[in-house]
Amino acid sequence: MIKESMKIFLSDLKNSSKDLLPIVAVVAFFQIFIIKTVPEDLISICIGLTIVAVGLALFIRGLEIGIFPVGENLANDFAKKGSLFWLLLFAFLIGFSTTIAEPALIAIANKAAIISDGRIDAFYLRLTVAFSVGFAIALGVMRILLGHPIQYYIISGYIIVVSVTFFAPIEIIGLAYDSGGVTTSTVTVPLVAALGIGLSSSIKGRNPAIDGFGLIAFASLTPMIFVQVFGIIVYNFGSTAEVAQSVVTVTTNIDRFGTYNLLVEFFGVIKDVAPILLVIGFFQYIIIKKPIPHIRKVFVGVVLLIIGLDAFIVGLELGLFPIGETIAYSLTTMGNNYLIYLFAFMIGFSTTMAEPALIAIAMKASEISKGNIDQKILRLSVALGVALGISLGAFRLISGTPLHYYIIVGYIIVIIMTYFAPKYIVPIAYDSGGVTTSTVTVPLVAALGLGLAENIDGRNPLIDGFGLIAFASLFPMITVMGYGIHASIKNKTKQKEA
């Protein structure tokens, strides 16, 4: 048993190390050949990256034996119970409870409060986003029950986003677009995906590949609408509040190597996961009135997930974030914009390939599609989309052109491609925009955007600093549908030749 477990762990560790290689290569290239300096804390960086690899391996194993089975079993039980009220309440609470404690959202909200001199209240912003995500998951579940095509909802949502943009204050637009990307956490994504797939598998006439995906897309879309409405209210009827001018970084609040409090951070991860476990426990034992199957195995999976996620975050803080922030700052002071675009492209690609939420979704997509969707090609397509998005976002920031022009054109392209892409790829493409902006990508991308806005003359960090995450969420939808269209054309050509 122990020997078999070690064999599985070493296999997971090997795969996670491969996923991290692109990040290491990008950082090493820029540090050695562009910045031309050796980092002072090289040893701690190497230790940190090793911890990241171990954490990622444990996290993936925890998902496989803990979160995925529980989510799918709950969905099956709800489908058998036939209670619409409890199912929608469960969906809402999963979205709300996981988002309100999301570290990336907390960091972005705190930063927005400071940059806006208190005009934007961090707590009310988080409350708005959490409510919108809860509403989104409940709406997505209703769509699965009704069997409506997802594109009708998503396209309608884009039209609303664009329409509200013309009334929203300019200070809130970038933040609103970014808020859609920071809501889908590393733990939330697999559970929500499991809920959608489990539900569509339990209802007659539903296809898990077509109907099961899409909940994450809803969770990325609605915050953009709600936060813009929040901004209209705040900037027209609100008043400036006093905010302590303390330094709030866009990464999680962690001390550097040597002073880092491991115990505090570990309990912080437990606090982030606890709302999900409480919601699951309440509905499983009080509403469904049925014990969790294979409870010991699930418990081990949850423990592995918590330890893995904690190690992953600790390793990132020790090994990647410090050097990433240093490189971003160095590039802004060198005055070579092309190097900034190259760094944005390469860091976007490499961090996305290592994103745990994307790995989880790609695994599930490959399984549900019975091999029609190649896991590696899907991840490569998403990573390419993020890379293109962030580099274009950096160009937008440096050139000073309005953010919403780019986003509106991007939405138009997505809508057009939706009608040409195969049905099975559309929901996954929509979801891919939400899974790219999570544990690894958000802090680095946000740091790059705010760093550029603070170091370029004529840029306002509140107006120009936010928005890169929105680009990172939009472009993967285009590249993934492009992959689907290409695969469809290729299959038709093979059939004709046969």
Give domain status of residue 7, yes or no.
Answer: no
> For position 251, what pLDDT does the model report?
39
Mean pLDDT of 93-118: 76
Give domain status of residue 450, yes or no.
Answer: yes
Please report which confidence band the pLDDT of residue 417 belongs to, taking 50, 70 and 90 as the band edges: very high
> For position 324, what pLDDT does the model report?
65
Our count of domains for the chain comes to 1
> For position 160, what pLDDT does the model report?
93
Q: Which two tokens stand for residue 191?
A: 């559970």
Position 4 pLDDT exceeds 90: no
> For position 227, what pLDDT does the model report?
93
> For position 246, what pLDDT does the model report?
37
Give domain status of residue 453, yes or no.
Answer: yes
**Cα(399)–Cα(394) distance, integer angstroms:** 8
> For position 352, what pLDDT does the model report?
86
Of 231, 226, 122, residue with least CA distance to 169: 231
Position 136 pLDDT exceeds 80: yes
Mean pLDDT of 68-76: 80
> For position 345, what pLDDT does the model report?
93
Q: Which two tokens stand for residue 382?
A: 């998403």
Greater confidence (396 vs 266) lies with 396
List, as own/partner pairs, every contact residues 402-406 make where C-beta atoms lie below 8 angstroms and the sequence separation is at least 24, other chains included: 403/173, 403/174, 403/177, 403/467, 403/470, 404/162, 404/165, 404/173, 404/177, 406/471
Identify which of 79-93, 99-113, 145-159, 316-330 has the greatest average pLDDT: 145-159
The least confident of 129-138, 165-174, 331-340 is 331-340
Position 126 pLDDT exceeds 90: no
Greater confidence (300 vs 207) lies with 300
Q: What is the DSSP string of 108-152?
A: HHHHHHHHTTTSS-HHHHHHHHHHHHHHHHHHHHHHHHHT--HHH
The least confident of 240-244, 379-383, 392-396 is 240-244
**pLDDT for 227-247, tens place per residue?**
999 999 988 876 544 443 433
Mean pLDDT of 283-288: 88
**Cα(57)–Cα(308) distance, integer angstroms:** 7
Element (H, E) at 482: helix 468-497
Position 436 pLDDT exceeds 60: yes
**Cα(174)–Cα(159) distance, integer angstroms:** 17
Mean pLDDT of 115-134: 86
Instruction: List Cβ neighbours of 23 (8 Å cut-off, separation of 6 or more).
Output: 320, 347, 350, 351, 353, 354, 440
Give domain status of residue 48, yes or no.
Answer: yes
Position 337 pLDDT exceeds 60: yes
Q: What is the DSSP string of 293-308?
A: TTHHHHHHHHHHHHHH
**pLDDT for 211-222, tens place per residue?**
888 888 898 899
Q: In percent, how much of the chain has pLDDT > 90?
A: 16
Position 384 pLDDT exceeds 90: yes
Give domain status of residue 13, yes or no.
Answer: no
Position 257 pLDDT exceeds 60: no
**pLDDT for 187-198, tens place per residue?**
677 778 888 888
Domain around 425: 25-497
The least confident of 87-96, 362-371, 390-399 is 362-371
> For position 92, what pLDDT does the model report?
93
**pLDDT for 78-92, tens place per residue?**
877 777 888 899 889
Please report which confidence band the pLDDT of residue 253 belongs to, taking 50, 70 and 90 as the band edges: very low
Please report which confidence band the pLDDT of residue 135 belongs to, taking 50, 70 and 90 as the band edges: very high
**Cα(185)–Cα(357) distance, integer angstroms:** 8
270 close to 308: Cβ distance less than 8 angstroms? no
**Cα(429)–Cα(481) distance, integer angstroms:** 6
> For position 247, what pLDDT does the model report?
36
Position 46 pLDDT exceeds 70: yes
**How many other C-beta atoms lie within 10 A of the C-beta of residue 270?**
13
Torsion region of 401: left, alpha or beta (phi above 0 gives left; psi -120 to 50 gives alpha)? beta
The residue type at 239? S
Position 255 pLDDT exceeds 50: no
Give domain status of residue 10, yes or no.
Answer: no
> For position 250, what pLDDT does the model report?
38
- What is the per-residue burial (b if ≥16 Cβ within 10 Å, else e) of 226-248? bbbbbbeebbeeeeeeebeeeeb
**pLDDT for 456-476, tens place per residue?**
777 877 678 778 888 888 999
Q: In percent, how much of the chain has pLDDT > 70?
A: 89
Give domain status of residue 74, yes or no.
Answer: yes
Greater confidence (290 vs 440) lies with 290
Q: What is the DSSP string of 166-191?
A: TTS-HHHHHHHHHHTTSSS-TTHHHH
**Cα(205)–Cα(222) distance, integer angstroms:** 27
Of 337, 342, 321, 385, residue with least CA distance to 30: 342
Mean pLDDT of 394-404: 87
Average pLDDT, the chain: 81
Position 367 pLDDT exceeds 70: yes
**Cα(376)–Cα(33) distance, integer angstroms:** 29
Give domain status of residue 409, yes or no.
Answer: yes
> For position 260, what pLDDT does the model report?
46
Q: Note the helical H segments in 419-467.
A: 426-435, 441-455
